[in-house]
Amino acid sequence: MGTRDGRRPVRILVAVALIAGPPGAATGLMEKTASAGSPVPSSRDLAAVRGDVAQRAAAVGRAADRLAAVQARLGWLETRAETTVERYDGAVVEVRRATDAYRVTQRRAAAAAAAEAARRGAVGELASEAYRSDGAFGSIAGAIGDAGGPQEFFDRVGVLRVIAEHHTDILASATAASIVAQVFRGQARDQLAATRAAARQAAVLKRAAQLAVARQQRILRSTQVTRSRLARQLAAARAEEGVLEVAAARPAPTATSAFSAVVSAPAWTYRPGAAGSSASAGDAAASWALRQLGKPYVWGGAGPNAFDCSGLTMRAWQHAGVQLDHWTGTQWTSGPHIPIAGLQRGDLLFFASNPYDPSTIHHVGIYIGHDMMVDAPYTGVNVRIDSIFEPGLIGATRPA
C-alpha cells in the first residue's frame, strides 16, 4: 500500500524497532535500510538474518518446553500439596473428635472412680461390722441361749446368709469399678496421644508440600522471565528480517527516495492523530480485568465465572462503556492500532500464528502496565497476568 506522507515510513521503522527492542536497535535498523545510497540487502544479508531468526526461534521453543515442564511439575506439586493439606485438615478434625472423646472418657473414668470410692466405703463398713461382731455371728451359746431360743437363732442365720452374700457382691463391684476406671483412663490417654501424633505428622507433610510448591513457583517465574526475554529477542530478529525482505524486494533507493522506498505500511500501522477511548476508560477496563484473576478458562466463556480470551476483553471494555464483539477478528479492528511504545492501560494486545498476517490472530490480552497484561490463556489455566512479549505478538488496538 502506498503512502501520502513522506515521513510515514520513518514512523513505521521506529514503531517496528520499538516493538522489537531498545532504541539502539531502531537506530541501527534505520541506518542499515534507509541511508541515502545504501545498497539493497544481499541474499547473504537475508540468509544471516534468517539464520538468526531460526536460532532465536529454536531458543524460544526450548524455553517454552522448559516452561511447560516446570508448569507440569508445579501442577503435580500443587495436587500433592492439596492432598496433604486435606490430610492435615482431616487430622485436625480427628484431634478435635479425639479430644471430645477423651473428655467423655474422663467423665466416665471420674464416675467409675466415684463408684470405686463408694464401693471401698461399703467394704470398709463391712470390715467394721465384722470387727464389731468378732468376724462372725457371736458365740453359738449366746445365740442359742437368747430369749428367742433355737428357732430365732436359725431365722437369724438365714438373714445373715443373705447379708453375707450382699457383702460379697459389694466386694466384687468394688473390684470391677476399679478395673473399669483404669480401662477408661488408658483408652482415652492412648487415643488422644495417637491422634495428636498423626496430626503432627500431617502438619510436617503439609509444610513440606507447601515449601515445594513455593520453590517451584519461583522456578516458574524465573523460567517465564527467561522465555519473555528470548521472545523479545526473537521479535527483534523477525522485525529486522521483515524490513530487509521488503527492502530487498524493491530497487535500490536513491538519496531522494531512501525513506519512501524502504517499506510499505501494513494495514495496522499506527496513524498519528487517530482517536481511541480515553485513558480513564482504559483504566476502568484494565481494573475490571484484574478483578477476574483466578477464574477458569472456558472456551466460549464470557463471564461472570469463566472466560476465554476475547470474552474477557469484551466484558472488560463493556464495563468501561465500549461494546466489542466476542471475537478477536473484530476486536482487532475496533479502534486505532497503537505502537508498543505508546501503550496505555486497557489497550488490547493481539497474538498471531504469523505476526505479519492479522488473519492468523488467535489470542488477545488487556494491557495493565509495565509490559504486563491480563489474559485467559487456554484450557486448564485460570485468568492470570502474563508478559506482553509472548511469541506471536502482532500489535495493539485501543478500542473506540
**Per-residue pLDDT tens over the stretch 91-120:** 888 888 888 888 887 787 778 778 767 766
Are 184 and 109 spatial neighbours (Cβ–Cβ below 8 Å)?
A: yes
pLDDT band at 267 (very low <50, low <70, confident <90, very high): very low
Query: Would you say 34 and 259 are in contact if contact means Cβ atoms under 8 Å apart?
Result: yes
pLDDT for residue 89? 78
- pLDDT of the residue at 315: 97
Q: Using 50, 70 and 90 to split pLDDT, how confident is the model at 243?
A: low
Residue 246 has pLDDT above 90, yes or no: no
Does residue 90 surpass a pLDDT of 60?
yes
Q: Considering the chain, what percentage of its residues have pLDDT values greater than 70?
A: 66
Q: What is the pLDDT of residue 34?
A: 40
First-to-last C-alpha distance (Å) of the chain: 25
Q: Beta-carbon neighbour count of residue 122 at 10 Å?
A: 17
Looking at residue 2, what is its pLDDT? 36
Q: How confident is the model at residue 259 (pLDDT cuts 50, 70, 90)?
A: very low
What pLDDT is stored for residue 281 in this prediction? Answer: 96
- pLDDT higher than threshold 80 for residue 203: yes
Over residues 1-25, the mean pLDDT reads 37
Higher pLDDT pick, 11 / 387: 387
246 or 194: which leads in pLDDT:
194
pTM recorded for the entire structure: 0.41
Amino acid 16: pLDDT = 38
Lowest mean pLDDT among 123-137, 181-195, 206-220, 359-373: 123-137
Specify the length of the chain in residues.
400
pLDDT score recorded for residue 41: 74
Distance CA 361, CA 354 (A): 8
pLDDT: is 182 or 288 the higher one? Answer: 288
- Taking 50 as the threshold, does the pLDDT of residue 18 lie above it? no
The chain-wide mean pLDDT, for the chain, equals: 75
**pLDDT confidence of 296, banded at 50, 70, 90?**
very high
Q: At what angle do helices 279-290 and 309-318 cross, to 10 degrees?
A: 130
Residue 149 has pLDDT above 80, yes or no: no
Report the candidate in 121, 104, 101 with the shortest Cα–Cα distance to residue 177: 121
What's residue 37's pLDDT? Answer: 43
Predicted pLDDT of residue 3: 35
Q: What's the pLDDT score for residue 13?
A: 36
Beta strands 337-338 and 372-375: pairing type?
A: unpaired
- Is 319 exposed, middle or buried, given 0-12, 13-18 or 19+ CB atoms closer than 10 A? middle
Q: Quick one: pLDDT band at residue 256, thresholds 50, 70, 90? A: very low
Q: Which cell numbers in the block locate residue 232? A: 523479545
Pairwise CA distance, residues 274 & 143, whole Å: 131
Cα-based torsion angle of the residue sequence 92, 94, 96, 100 in order, rounded to the nearest 10 degrees: -170
* pLDDT, position 184: 74
147 vs 251, higher pLDDT:
147
Q: What is the pLDDT of residues 344-389, one digit of tens each?
A: 999 999 999 898 889 889 999 999 999 999 999 988 899 999 999 9
Q: Residue for cell digits 497476568?
A: 385
Q: What SS3 string covers the chain?
A: CCCCCCCHHHHHHHHHHHHHCCHHHHHHHHHHHHCCCCCCCCHHHHHHHHHHHHHHHHHHHHHHHHHHHHHHHHHHHHHHHHHHHHHHHHHHHHHHHHHHHHHHHHHHHHHHHHHHHHHHHHHHHHHHHHHHCCCCCCCHHHHHCCCCHHHHHHHHHHHHHHHHHHHHHHHHHHHHHHHHHHHHHHHHHHHHHHHHHHHHHHHHHHHHHHHHHHHHHHHHHHHHHHHHHHHHHHHHHHHHHHHHHHHHCCCCCCCCCCCCCCCCCCCCCCCCCCCCCCHHHHHHHHHHHHCCCCCEECCCCECCCCECHHHHHHHHHHCCCCCCCCCHHHHHCCCCEECHHHCCCCCEEEEECCCCCHHHEEEEEEEEECCEEEECCCCCCECEEEECCCCCEEEEECCC
CATH class of segment(s) 268-400: alpha beta
Comparing 29-38, 117-126, 216-225, 309-318, the range with the smallest average pLDDT is 29-38
Is a pLDDT exceeding 70 seen at residue 141? no
Ranges 144-148, 241-245, 274-278: which has the least confidence = 144-148
Q: Of 259, 220, 219, 267, which is closest to residue 243 (Cα–Cα)?
A: 259
